[in-house]
């Protein structure tokens, strides 16, 4: 039994250096070989990528995936802790798993960011005894050992470590797509924005070696992948922990040399976004002109309370520089409303920034206090109705600019990478423009996996419709 410790989780020392090691295969308990597994992932792209590893490990041990939980012998919930509603979803789903476990013998496990919270572990140990095992974000590569121990000891096995963190290379993966792939470049975060739990759940900022990343992209290209998304909590800080003279700009140029059709990167932080990086985005033919640049708030008072390390003026300056230098750029953002201490005036400043930036899109949230984060200790006396009313006004403005941005593409020819059948209309295909805009496409032939020219025939707030043009 090893439980998380939030004090340990926030420790960062100058000498912290990630240990980079290779994955070691461990034989899974005989009782599971040949059986089916069910993995449900919540949250961000980082977690989705971890979900691909969990499936990869189970497949490498002779299990096969099922989308029907009733067929599964082992169920793993790969969880997110970024907001309370993420928690609620998992505990809601656990109720369903409990019923199933009363009817058949299944092994139930939880991993991801929620087990990194002590209160969650305490709750699972006291109220969810039917959960057989838990592991965290730092020992994903030890999941087989944790599963085996829980089977051998016939008791709840919890192995969760709070630590700066290491890098495990070479874990088997079962990727969700054969066209577009996630590629980690950096794990963890040291920014400690006061509302954010990620520095505690995912450890210190640590970069993979650039040669490992480039090799992985070359391998993916050989396998026929058309697109890679370089992943990190704060990709603009890539390399700062291991290199003096190599950063995201260098990495983009080296990945561009692999010749893979499309390169994307998320998530950016204004603080580390240099001119060099802007130039690399513009000059590298395979790097897509799409930047996700969270602003979070438009008031300097709130930005300070959030410990975002930039002012609205500095953000606007960077934003305008990207718009000027990167042709046909698409810029989206994240905004939190109702942060403790936010007044109507502060909120009006956020709306003003949205008017100045006219973002192509945004993810908007009501502030959700996270365990042990500094912001959770701040006095928060803004009524829920006020926060909801602010979110509503903000979304109206965001939708307006997102719609205007899409309207500008009406009648234009856009290059679209087709990923799948459209969820919305199965008679159509779906894909993304270079600017990461969703397009539903009419086509008589199967165009999945192709980069096609599409004439945009209809524009809505969050999607476009179009037809293939030769
Ligand atoms: S930069 Fe992002 S991941 Fe890091 S602490 Fe801030 S919000 Fe969290």
> Which residue of 113, 190, 269 sits with most ligand 1 atoms within 8 Å of its CB, as the best mutation to test the pocket?
269
Q: Mean of the pLDDT values across residues 26-32?
A: 96
Residues of the chain with CATH 2.40.50.140: 413-468
- 454: DSSP letter: E
The rounded Å distance from CA 287 to ligand 1 centre is: 24
With a cut of 90, say whether residue 14 has pLDDT above it.
Answer: no
Q: Where in the chain is the domain with CATH 3.80.30.20?
A: 175-407
Look at residue 314 and tell me whether its pLDDT is greater than 70: yes
Cβ(292) – ligand 1 distance below 6 Å: no
**Are 204 and 164 a contacting pair, CB within 8 Å?**
yes
What CATH number is given for 413-468 in this structure?
Answer: 2.40.50.140
| Ligand 1 contact via 233 beta carbon (within 6 Å) | yes
**What is the architecture, at CATH level 2, of domain 6-166?**
3-Layer(aba) Sandwich (3.40)
For the segment 157-163, the average pLDDT, to the nearest whole number, is 94
Report the pLDDT value the prediction gives residue 305, as an integer from 0 to 100.
98
Q: Where in the chain is the domain with CATH 3.40.50.12160?
A: 6-166
Q: Is the CB of 193 under 6 A from ligand 1?
A: yes
Rounded to the nearest angstrom, the distance between the alpha carbon of 123 and the centre of ligand 1 is 26
Residue 15, pLDDT score: 67
Percent of the chain with pLDDT over 90: 94
Helix (H, G, I), strand (E, B) or coil at 232: coil
CA 391 vs. chain centroid, Å, equals: 22
Bond into 267 cis (ω within 30): yes
| pLDDT the model gives residue 163 | 86
Topology of the domain covering 175-407: pyruvate-formate lyase- activating enzyme (3.80.30)
32 pocket-lining for ligand 1 (C-beta < 6 Å): no
Any atom of ligand 1 within 6 Å of the Cβ of 375: no
Distances, alpha carbon 375 to alpha carbons 111, 235, 350, 371, in Å: 25, 24, 19, 9
Query: How remote is the CA of residue 267 from the centroid of ligand 1, in Å?
Result: 9
pLDDT digits over 233-278, tens only?
999 999 999 999 999 999 999 999 999 999 999 999 999 999 999 9
pTM > 0.85: yes or no:
yes
Q: Ligand 1 pocket, 287 CB below 6 A?
A: no
> pLDDT tens across 353-405, in order?
999 999 999 999 999 999 889 999 999 999 999 999 999 999 999 999 999 99
Percent of the chain's residues with pLDDT above 70: 99
Burial class (CB in 10 A: 0-12, 13-18, 19+), 39: buried
Do the Cβ atoms of 341 and 327 come closer than 8 Å? no
Q: Measured from the CB, is residue 187 less than 6 Å from ligand 1? A: no
Average model confidence (pLDDT) for the chain?
96
In three-state secondary structure terms, 98 is helix
The verdict on the CB of residue 271 being under 6 Å from ligand 1 is: no
Is the CB of 138 within 6 Å of ligand 1? no
Q: Tell me which residue has its CA closest to atom 1 in ligand 1.
A: 191
Residue 16 scores a pLDDT above 80: no
Say yes or no to pLDDT of 124 above 70: yes
């Amino acid at each position: 039994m090893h439980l998380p410790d939030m004090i340990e989780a926030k420790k960062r020392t100058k000498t912290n250096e990630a240990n980079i090691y290779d994955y070691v295969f461990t034989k899974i308990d005989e009782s599971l070989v040949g059986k089916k597994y069910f993995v449900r992932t919540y949250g961000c792209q980082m977690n989705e990528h971890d979900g691909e590893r969990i499936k990869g490990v189970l497949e490498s041990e002779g299990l096969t995936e099922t989308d029907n939980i009733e067929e599964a012998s082992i169920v793993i919930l790969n969880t997110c802790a970024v907001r309370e509603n993420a928690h609620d979803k998992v505990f809601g789903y656990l109720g369903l798993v409990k019923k199933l476990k009363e009817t058949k013998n299944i092994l139930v496990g939880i991993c991801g960011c929620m087990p990194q919270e002590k209160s969650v572990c305490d709750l699972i140990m006291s109220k969810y005894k039917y959960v057989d095992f838990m592991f965290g974000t730092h020992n994903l590569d030890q999941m087989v050992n944790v599963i085996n121990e829980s089977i051998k000891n016939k008791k709840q096995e919890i192995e969760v470590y709070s630590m700066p963190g290491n890098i495990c290379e070479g874990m088997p993966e079962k990727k969700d797509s054969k066209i577009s792939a996630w590629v980690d470049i950096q794990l963890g975060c040291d920014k400690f924005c006061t509302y954010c739990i990620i520095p505690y759940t995912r450890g210190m900022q640590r970069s993979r070696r650039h040669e490992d990343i480039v090799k992985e992209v070359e391998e993916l290209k050989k396998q026929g992948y058309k697109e890679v998304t370089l992943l990190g909590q704060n990709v603009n800080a890539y390399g700062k922990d291991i290199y003096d003279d190599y950063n995201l700009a260098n990495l983009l140029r080296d990945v561009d040399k692999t010749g893979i059709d499309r390169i994307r990167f998320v998530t950016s932080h204004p603080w580390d976004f240099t001119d060099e990086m802007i130039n690399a985005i513009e000059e590298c033919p395979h790097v897509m002109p799409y930047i996700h640049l969270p602003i979070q708030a438009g008031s300097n008072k709130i930005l300070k309370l959030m410990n975002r390390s930039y002012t609205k003026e500095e953000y606007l300056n960077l934003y305008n520089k990207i718009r000027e230098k990167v042709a046909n750029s698409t810029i989206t953002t994240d905004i939190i409303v109702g942060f403790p201490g936010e007044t109507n005036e502060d909120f009006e400043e956020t709306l003003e920034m949205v008017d100045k930036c006219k973002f192509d899109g945004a993810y908007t949230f009501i502030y959700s206090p996270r365990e042990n984060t500094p912001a959770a200790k701040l006095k928060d006396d803004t009524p829920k109705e006020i926060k909801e009313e602010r979110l509503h006004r903000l979304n109206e403005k965001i939708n307006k600019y997102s719609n205007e941005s899409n309207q500008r593409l009406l009648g234009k020819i856009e290059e679209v990478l087709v990923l799948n059948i459209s969820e919305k209309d199965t008679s159509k295909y779906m894909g993304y423009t270079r600017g990461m805009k969703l397009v539903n496409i009419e086509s008589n032939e199967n165009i999945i996996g192709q980069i096609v020219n599409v004439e945009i025939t209809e524009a809505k707030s969050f999607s476009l419709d179009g037809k293939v043009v030769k």
